[in-house]
A and B are shown apart, each in its own frame.
Chain A
């Protein structure tokens, strides 16, 4: 992003965050958060093997492939 874009963004974010901070006004100590409209529990699937994608299809959409694997540029060193 350019400097100018960043300035505009920062201003917009300020306004947005300011308005959403209102959310803190609402007394909420004892209130449970809502996850889903119709509460569901324990939705699980049996441990069964199903079909996989064909590898050629999987790799066809990849930006770069080598040795049947997804090729990515060098990862920044996180070990010495």
Chain B
């Protein structure tokens, strides 16, 4: 399979069913069951104690803030909060788990039966939440000696327990049906929206690239209209929002191809590959591991009473959906525009840019336009580009007042992306102030163009590189101008874009 069949075509024959399991590392100061710090990136095995190492005799004591964060997440997802529930031991052997069991929750999760609405291409889908529960994270293994750093072919492994015991919240959706061809986009939109929600609650820094938000994607296909559910695969190692979408898309295509030729979809865990967007098989889950769950005898039940839950409810911030509704009003944006911004992950950025003084529509244009484009090119979230709303607002202001052209504004952004810096400083240092009638640079450019009409003609006709001599002319006239700026101005005046 070299190219993937389009989801539109696939959904002509099959109804996709997707499910998402998300693990969120809570941003508490200390671990779930002990007082070890949780800071990322510490020297290996320096943030451990008898409890998180599982030394003989050690006992767990649950972190109050972790429990409260879980309840708040459940409330924000419109879940029922259990009035009484317990932790459970999930027993299996693995070196990154010091006790060879994980303290988790089994048949008594803290939160159940909620939902999160996501909107894609004008369609709102209610993703139902099966459960939200609390557990502890495992340590991290490095596999040494193999070609890829993964287990396969490794000679031995090295374990660091700093991460062992960090609080983890697991959020599991119910199977999401009726998504049709938009299944990949809906999966991505769900994780995007969930991430926004978690961020607004302040419970985690939700950085997929650092592992504080992890996603497993389940996909199955059912013959169109049959109502008979297919076998599902579970795909792990989905480390970005884009990967969520690609993984679903790939699985739909792979499973459709199998089913088309009468083959069977195997129930298994698959591994997503960032580089080519494919999944490969891992452990077969035909025989599910028996985790021998039983209630954790070292812990007592959690019984959040109504008073406690209501106090926590009162701490909920304005949730993203409500906030967007309010911002839509403030920003004067249509539903479609809000959705575009939400799906591009720029709602907050646009709002902040508007708050910094920019007209909302222009803030939107910049973030959905050039900035989103640059983010995609670099495979980054717009929020991680390194350009602040304040900087964008300043650029917009300079463009609006005529000091910069749009093209020069983009150039400022390029400089910020390259080297950071303050907008006004960059403009001054590089002499980016745009042409005005009294402006020396603009005048020099006009004169250079007028003096060499043949060259001007060539450039207008598309031979961009022919503009070189004109650059030289302008720079002789205005020695302090920098070449890139001059080029931009000339091209602008000649009415061509030149990149």
- Chain A residues at the B interface, C-beta cutoff of 8 Å: 35-36, 39-53, 55, 58-59, 66-75, 77-80
Cα-based distance from A42 to B282 in the complex (angstroms): 39
Residue of B34, B151, B160 near A69 (CB, 8 A) is: B160
Which of A42, A72, A78 has the largest number of chain B CB atoms within 10 A?
A: A42
Task: Name the B residues within 8 Å of A58 (CB-CB).
Answer: 45, 48, 53
Residue of B48, B64, B151 near A53 (CB, 8 A) is: B48
Closest residue of chain B to A61 (Cβ to Cβ) is B55
Residue of B36, B95, B303 near A41 (CB, 8 A) is: B303
Stretch at the interface among B294-302, B315-323, B346-354: B294-302
Closest residue of chain B to A36 (Cβ to Cβ) is B300
Task: Name the A residues within 8 Å of B150 (CB-CB).
Answer: 79
Known: A41-B303, A72-B159. Contact between A35 and B43, CB under 8 A?
Answer: no
**CB atoms of B64 and A55 under 8 A apart:** no
Residue B438 CB within 8 A of the other chain: no
A to B CB contacts below 8 Å, 10 in the list = A49-B35, A51-B35, A51-B49, A52-B49, A55-B45, A66-B144, A67-B44, A70-B158, A75-B151, A79-B283
**CB atoms of A44 and B62 under 8 A apart:** yes
Task: Name the B residues within 8 Å of A46 (CB-CB).
Answer: 64-65
Residue of B37, B43, B299 near A55 (CB, 8 A) is: B43
**CB atoms of B53 and A68 under 8 A apart:** no
Cα-based distance from A68 to B301 in the complex (angstroms): 37
**Interface readout for B419-431 with A: 1 if CB under 8 Å, 0 if not?**
0000000000000
Known: A41-B301, A77-B152. Contact between A48 and B30, CB under 8 A?
Answer: yes
Cα-based distance from A13 to B367 in the complex (angstroms): 69
**Which residues in chain B, 29-77, are within 8 Å of chain A measured between CB atoms?**
29-30, 34-37, 43-50, 53, 61-67
Residue B78 CB within 8 A of the other chain: no
**CB atoms of A74 and B156 under 8 A apart:** yes
Cα-based distance from A69 to B66 in the complex (angstroms): 28
Residue B28 CB within 8 A of the other chain: yes
**CB atoms of A44 and B64 under 8 A apart:** yes
Cα-based distance from A45 to B67 in the complex (angstroms): 10
Residue B266 CB within 8 A of the other chain: no
Task: Name the A residues within 8 Å of B299 (CB-CB).
Answer: 43
Cα-based distance from A68 to B160 in the complex (angstroms): 8
Cα-based distance from A52 to B301 in the complex (angstroms): 27
Cα-based distance from A55 to B102 in the complex (angstroms): 23
Residue B450 CB within 8 A of the other chain: no
Cα-based distance from A60 to B217 in the complex (angstroms): 41
**CB atoms of B157 and A71 under 8 A apart:** yes
**CB atoms of A79 and B282 under 8 A apart:** yes
Cα-based distance from A79 to B36 in the complex (angstroms): 32
**CB atoms of B62 and A52 under 8 A apart:** no
Task: Name the B residues within 8 Å of A75 (CB-CB).
Answer: 95, 141, 143, 151, 154, 157
Residue of A41, A43, A51, A53 near B61 (CB, 8 A) is: A43
Cα-based distance from A77 to B282 in the complex (angstroms): 9
**CB atoms of A68 and B154 under 8 A apart:** no
Cα-based distance from A46 to B295 in the complex (angstroms): 23
Task: Name the A residues within 8 Å of B35 (CB-CB).
Answer: 45, 48-51
